[in-house]
Amino acid sequence: MKVLKSTLAIVCAAAVLGVSGFAQAGATLDAVQKKGFVQCGVSDGLPGFSVPDASGKIVGIDADVCRAVAAAVFGDATKVKFSQLNAKERFTALQSGEVDILSRNTTMTSSRDAGMGLKFPGFITYYDGIGFLVNNKLGVKSAKELDGATICIQAGTTTELNVSDYFRSNGLKYPPITFDTSDESAKSLESGRCDVLTSDKSQLFAQRSKLASPKDYVVLPETISKEPLGPVVRNGDDEWLAIVRWVGYAMLNAEEAGITSKNVEAEAKSTKNPDVARLLGADGEYGKDLKVKKDWVVQIVKQVGNYGEVFERNLGKSTPLEIDRGLNALWNNGGIQYAPPVR
């Protein structure tokens, strides 16, 4: 009887948790293949990460992660559609199935990964941290000089908690003003409604680039938190989670191996390096484990680029953001970006 009760309890639990448990296995990949594209949730307009260009095409490092997933699944990086979401909308859109993947400068935290029916695959698109953007006229050089300053914060983000912790621990006070979108926050800083804009530093650089006089504003030196930003999928679909995870790792491994969009096809045919041969599908059938073709990495790198190419194209020194690689350099080049091998 005890065994029967235990079995019934497990079955009931599985039924209740179906959206995040056994029943979901493989569902996302099947649905994506049937409709013929990846539906990707991105930001509501953050330069360098996901923003419409002059032609309306969504561009940025987060958007390119989704294109890389499409390249792996379909062999075609254009088979992706984008849903622009603000911070409040993003998780509901993923939980409800409106999007297949959320790639929207989203911080990986324990509560999000374990308590919301979501899963972070583990690949970190961008290692970031919260900072402060101020007008030079404010005359401050450090965040510890911000006592009493009015601070603009985007609602529905981890920034609210981290800023509160930082100010309390340093004996500082501040009146916050919250907004639903990052653009609203930036416009309020520019208009003088608030003294300081706080967010992930990458977002501050992006928002500064959109201001009428970017050089009038400075990002203060302090980084007050850890904000590992990465893609998110629904919990319970390990097959789809693995694809998203290894797409990111493939881009990092390609950069480490010196494989670029310009040489990837030649390397796939002629490489003598066994690690590169496995990565590019010249040796073994490692794509089969992910239910993708053996040249999945070749398609990612050829059509989208390796991680370094994607970073430089969207965030690097040749862009208006001019962001250094910093922590996002490879582990063997002064950063912490590190990918397990394909083998």
For 186, what's the count of Cα atoms within 13 Å in the CB-facing half-sphere? 21
Average pLDDT over residues 90-102: 97
58-80: burial string, b at 16+ Cβ within 10 Å, e else = bbbbbbbbbbbbbbbbbbebebb
For the segment(s) 130-225, the CATH number from 3.40.630.30, 3.40.50.2000, 3.40.190.10, 3.40.50.1970 is 3.40.190.10
| Distance of alpha carbon 254 from alpha carbon 276, whole angstroms | 8
For 94-98, 126-130, 153-157, 255-259, which range has the lowest pLDDT when averaged over its residues? Answer: 153-157
> How does pLDDT run across 308-330, given as a tens digit for each residue?
999 999 999 999 999 999 999 99
Return the pLDDT at 157. Answer: 84
Q: What pTM does this model have?
A: 0.88
> How does pLDDT run across 330-341, given as a tens digit for each residue?
999 999 999 999
* Same-fold call for 23-126+229-257+297-333 versus 130-225: yes
| Distance of alpha carbon 60 from alpha carbon 214, whole angstroms | 20
Average pLDDT over residues 117-123: 97
Nearest in space to 35 (alpha carbons), one of 103, 98, 105: 98
Return the pLDDT at 11. Answer: 37
Average pLDDT over residues 192-208: 94
Return the pLDDT at 172. Answer: 97
The answer, yes or no, to whether residue 22 has pLDDT greater than 50, is: no
Coil, strand, or helix at residue 81?
strand
pLDDT band at 158, cuts 50/70/90?
A: confident
Average pLDDT over residues 276-293: 96
The answer, yes or no, to whether residue 17 has pLDDT greater than 80, is: no
Strand locations in 51-184 (E): 51-52, 58-59, 80-84, 101-102, 118-119, 126-128, 130-135, 151-154, 176-179
Q: How far is CA 69 from the centre of its chain?
A: 13
The answer, yes or no, to whether residue 183 has pLDDT greater than 80, is: yes
C-alpha pair distances (Å), 210 with each of 182, 215, 220: 11, 11, 18
Return the pLDDT at 3. Answer: 37
Q: Could you tell me the residue ranges of all domains in the chain?
A: 23-126+229-257+297-333, 130-225
The answer, yes or no, to whether residue 73 has pLDDT greater than 70, is: yes
> How does pLDDT run across 26-69, given as a tens digit for each residue?
799 999 999 999 999 999 999 999 999 999 999 999 999 999 99
Q: What is the mean pLDDT of the chain?
A: 92
Return the pLDDT at 26. Answer: 77
Are 135 and 113 spatial neighbours (Cβ–Cβ below 8 Å)? Answer: no
Return the pLDDT at 20. Answer: 40
- The number of residues in the chain equals 343
Average pLDDT over residues 281-307: 97
Return the pLDDT at 156. Answer: 80
Are 206 and 44 spatial neighbours (Cβ–Cβ below 8 Å)? Answer: no
pLDDT band at 6, cuts 50/70/90?
A: very low
Specify the CATH class of 23-126+229-257+297-333 in words. alpha beta
Rounded to the nearest 5 percent, the helix, strand and coil shares of the chain are: 45, 15, 40
